[in-house]
């Protein structure tokens, strides 16, 4: 497969969209990122990695970390987490509070902020250090030992973290957090602040395309668990745009307000695209357009 030619064609096609949208403002340290950045990488299940544009430039993974924290909790703790978090699309923004009271402090899914806070809480209980566990996991899966937290982004998000604090306190009032709210928030912000490139994320997400196998052939998740993470990514990974993402791209995907989107073609490859300009629902404008064009050119959507 000539991924290089394919990715170049995608990059040419989306050029008019690069710079469209708004860079995330509510985390001030993210607001200074250049909106004209664009990169895309593909990690094939056979181990080859191809990219174009800014594919080796690190950016803030933000909510893409939610897919990896779910993988770690499923790996270490099996299906127990589903007693504390659902797996239905929320139809609401990623940081919405509104459903939590109606649904007794049980978040709709693990990929909205409330759900990810519950998953981080469980990972903290299981490991004693959720954010370091995730950083080490991502270093191992990406093969990049230099991955690090961005302390300025974590501090900035903590300073402006009233919304996430509200979600966490509210769930704690229902008994759906085991650790202190401040501990859960701190680890959640650190996880979101990890800096990775499209290359790093496409390689690290390879186990989702390999039905749970790591790059070296060892097993991280069962095929059933990998299938389930991909299913929740498809239905919930882009929040209240998950319907539009399925319509346009037709793949499991997980976005973050840093402008990255990871998408999985089970059995074939994992993609990561990055461009910081976001639409009103917090998904990369050029990233969505790139994945849309990629599956249109290849016919590799799951549909």
Say if residue 113 carries a ligand binding annotation.
yes
Q: Which of residues 49-108 bind ligand GLN (CB under 6 A)?
A: 62-63, 94-95
63 is catalytic: yes
- Count CA atoms closer than 13 A to 62's CA, side-chain side: 30
Q: To the nearest whole angstrom, how small is the minimum distance from the Cβ of residue 23 to ligand GLN?
A: 13
Token match 């897919």: residue? 67
Say if residue 8 carries a ligand binding annotation.
no
Q: Which residue's Cβ has the minimum distance to ligand GLN? A: 63
Identified catalytic residue from 188, 273, 285, 301: 188
Tokens of 201: 């994320």
Tokens of 219: 């097993």
Q: Which of residues 203-262 bind ligand GLN (CB under 6 A)?
A: 256-257
Q: To the nearest whole angstrom, how small is the minimum distance from the Cβ of residue 297 to ligand GLN?
A: 27
Buried b (16+ CB within 10 A) or exposed e, 63-76: bbbbbbbbbbbbbe
Identified catalytic residue from 119, 257, 264, 285: 257
Q: Does 282 bind ligand GLN (CB under 6 A)?
A: yes
Q: Is 18 helix (H, G, I), strand (E, B) or coil?
A: coil
Residue 59's alpha-carbon distances to 71, 149, 152, 197, 199, in angstroms, are: 21, 11, 13, 6, 11
174 is catalytic: no
Residue 239's alpha-carbon distances to 115, 250, 255, in angstroms, are: 12, 15, 9
188 is catalytic: yes
Identified catalytic residue from 52, 60, 63, 158: 63
264 is catalytic: no
Q: To the nearest whole angstrom, how small is the minimum distance from the Cβ of residue 296 to ligand GLN?
A: 25
Cα(245)–Cα(235) distance, integer angstroms: 9
Query: How does DSSP assign 224-246, residue by residue?
Result: HHHHHHHHHHHHHTTGGGHHHHH
Closer residue to ligand GLN, CB minimum distance, 283 or 295: 283
Closer residue to ligand GLN, CB minimum distance, 45 or 172: 172
Say if residue 188 carries a ligand binding annotation.
yes
Contacting residue, 54, 150, 157, 240, with ligand GLN by CB under 6 A: 157
User: Which residues make up the interface to ligand GLN (CB under 6 A)?
Assistant: 62-63, 94-95, 113, 157, 164, 192, 256-257, 282
Catalytic residues: 63, 66, 188, 239, 257
């Amino acid at each position: 497969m000539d991924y290089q030619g394919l990715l170049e064609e995608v990059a040419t096609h989306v050029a008019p969209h690069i710079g469209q949208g708004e860079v995330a403002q509510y985390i001030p340290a993210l607001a200074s990122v250049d909106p004209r950045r664009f990169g895309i990488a593909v990690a094939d299940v056979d181990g080859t990695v191809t990219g174009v544009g800014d594919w080796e430039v690190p950016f803030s993974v933000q909510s893409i970390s939610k897919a990896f924290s779910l993988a770690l909790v499923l790996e270490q703790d099996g299906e127990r987490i589903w007693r504390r978090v659902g797996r239905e699309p929320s139809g609401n923004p990623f940081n919405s509070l509104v459903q939590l009271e109606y649904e007794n402090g049980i978040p709709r899914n693990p990929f909205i902020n409330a759900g990810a806070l519950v998953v981080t809480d469980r990972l903290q209980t299981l490991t004693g250090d959720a954010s370091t566990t995730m950083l080490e996991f991502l270093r191992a899966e990406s093969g990049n030992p230099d991955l690090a937290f961005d302390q300025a982004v974590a501090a900035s998000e903590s300073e402006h973290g009233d919304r996430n604090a509200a979600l966490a306190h509210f769930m704690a009032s229902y008994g759906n957090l085991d650790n202190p709210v401040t501990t859960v928030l701190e680890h959640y912000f650190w996880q979101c602040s990890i800096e990775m490139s499209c290359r790093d994320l496409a390689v690290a997400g390879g186990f989702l395309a390999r039905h749970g196998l790591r790059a070296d052939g060892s097993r991280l998740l069962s095929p059933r668990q990998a299938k389930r993470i991909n299913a929740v990514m498809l239905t919930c990974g882009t929040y209240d745009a998950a319907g539009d993402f399925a319509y346009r791209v037709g793949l499991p995907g997980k976005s973050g307000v840093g402008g990255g989107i990871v998408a999985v073609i089970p059995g074939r490859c994992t993609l990561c695209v990055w461009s910081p300009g976001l639409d009103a629902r917090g998904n990369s404008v050029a990233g969505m357009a790139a994945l849309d064009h990629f599956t249109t050119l290849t016919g590799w959507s799951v549909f």
